Amino acid sequence: MGSSPAGSWFTQRVVVGVGDLAVSNNGHAILSTYALGSCVGVAAYDPVPKVGGILHLMLPDSQISPAKASAQPAMFADTGLRQFFQQFSVFGAKAARLRLFVAGGASVICGQDPFRIGARNAAATLEILAAHGLSPGHSDLGGSFNRTIHLDIATGGLNLKTPHGEHRIELGE
């Protein structure tokens, strides 16, 4: 049996569920979100204070349920992104330094999707980011398959897993 490097003994995996977010400066943390289908995952990293986060949003606009948005703002693109970036500022991160990755927005319903939730989620996310002068350096949007992302807070390294394979994206460089 092989031995593990000492650093892996202390790694803490934080799972970001649907309609939730996490932002951290803990160099021993890996943030993960699973099964991004029509949902959109936004990963962001500021390499100076080494702060990273993931938002797993479910719907494009909080106007459809203001009560739900008040209780769970991360569920919606508009309220979730606002809350996400507020959390970054708590850790001393600056919007101008953020490196962004956006994934999901797929059409995973068999046949026609009259609601086009995935496409609407992706469009709303990109519009809101653009309105704040932000643009993802990398993205993997659309299609008809799920995605999983893992963000290493120590390095800013992001692993994207799809049915087509794995890709590493460096947000910390």
Q: Return the structure tokens found at 152.
A: 């290493």
SS3 61: coil
Q: In 82-154, where do the E strands start and end?
A: 99-104, 138-141, 147-152
Q: Which residue has the tokens 């956006």?
A: 102
- Residue 119: other Cβ atoms inside 10 A: 17
C-alpha angle 97-103-105 in degrees, rounded to nearest 5 = 135
Point out the residues that are catalytic: 39
Tokens 């991004």 label which residue?
36
